[in-house]
Amino acid sequence: MTILNPRIGGMLVGYYRLCPRKAWLSMRGLWMEQESDAVALGRLLDDHSYDRDEKHLTIDAEAPDGTELVGKVDRTNLKNGVLHETKKGRACEDSHRWQVRFYLWLLYLNGVTRSNGHPFTGQLDYPLLRRTEPVTLDAEHITELATTVSAIRAIADQETPPPRLGKRSFCTKCAFEELCYG
C-alpha cells in the first residue's frame, strides 16, 4: 500500500532530519503533538511574536522527482527578502536550519528572487533567547534537499516504521516518546 503523492512540508523535512521514524509516524496521521507542552508553548510563541509582520505564508512547488511540496513560512519580510522561522530554543538547531533551507528551496524552484535579482535569505528567530541566526541556501544544500525529499517519499511507501533512534537522552524530550517506548 502506498501513499499516493504525499505532500511534503517543511516540518516533515525537519522531522526526518531528526528521526525518520517520527516522520513515518506523522505521515500516517499518528500525531503526538497534542500531548506535548513544549509544542503547545512553541505554538503560542509563534502566535504571539512579531505581531506586526506578515505571517503564515504558504508556498507550493514541485520537486525535481515530481513530489508535491508545500511550505508554511512562519513570518516573511518580503521587502528585504527574508523568510523567518520562529523557534523556542536552540535544541535540534540543525533540523531547524534544514526547515528554513527547505522554504528557500521552494522559492528557488519557483524561480522567485528579490527585485534586484538576488535570492531570498532565511533567518531563525529565537525570541526567548533574543537571538537570530541567518540561514542561506547553496548548491550543495539543494542537492541534499532533493535527496531528502526522495528519501521521505521512499519511507512513506514503507509498510513498517523505521527503527527507534534508541538515544534515550534525546528521545525523552520528544513528543512521540510514549508512542515509541511506552
Partner 1 sequence: MKRPHYLFSSGRLRRQHNTLCLERTTGERLPDDAPDDEGLPSAEADGARSPFPVEAVDSLYLFGEIDINSKLVTFLGQQGIPTFFYDYYGNYTATLFPREGQLSGRLRVDQARHYLSGKRRLVLARAFVEAALFNIERVIKYYQPRLVGEEQAAVQATLVELKKDREALPLTVDIHTLMAVEGRIRDRYYRLWPHFLGPEVAARFPFNKRERRPPSNELNALISFGNSLCYSTVLRQIYRTALDPTIAYLHEPGDRRFSLALDLAEVFKPLLVDRMIFRLLKTGELNPKHFEKYLGGCYLTEAGRKIVVSHWDERLSQTVQHRTMNKKVSYERLMRHECYKLVRHLCDPVGDLYQGFHMWW
Residues at the interface with partner 1 (CB under 8 A): 1, 3, 25, 28-31, 34-35, 160-161, 163, 168, 177-182
Q: Which is nearer to partner 1, 35 or 94 (CB)?
A: 35
Helix, coil or strand: residue 74: strand
Nearer to partner 1 among residue 33 and residue 133 (C-beta): 33
Question: CB 79 → partner 1: shortest distance, Å?
Answer: 39
Nearest one of 69, 113, 107, 104 to 85, comparing CA atoms: 104
- 34 or 115: CB nearest partner 1: 34
Q: Are 74 and 56 contacting, i.e. CB atoms less than 8 angstroms apart?
A: yes
Burial 53-91 (b: 16+ CB within 10 A, else e): eebeeebebebeeebebebebbbbeeeebbbbbbbbeee
Using the structure block, give the residue that is written with the C-alpha cell 502566535: 47
User: 3-class DSSP state for residue 128?
Assistant: coil
Closest distance to partner 1 from the beta carbon of 43 (Å): 16
Give the nearest distance from C-beta 125 to partner 1 in angstroms: 29
Q: Answer yes or no: are the C-beta atoms of 109 and 61 closer than 8 Å.
A: yes
Rounded to the nearest whole angstrom, what is the least distance from the CB of residue 4 to partner 1 in the complex?
12
Nearer to partner 1, 64 or 163 (CB): 163
**CA diameter of the chain:** 54
Taking the complex as a whole, how short is the minimal distance between the CB of residue 167 and partner 1, in angstroms? 14
Stated as kind and residue range, the H or E segment containing 83 is strand 82-86
Question: CB-wise, 25 or 61, nearer to partner 1?
Answer: 25
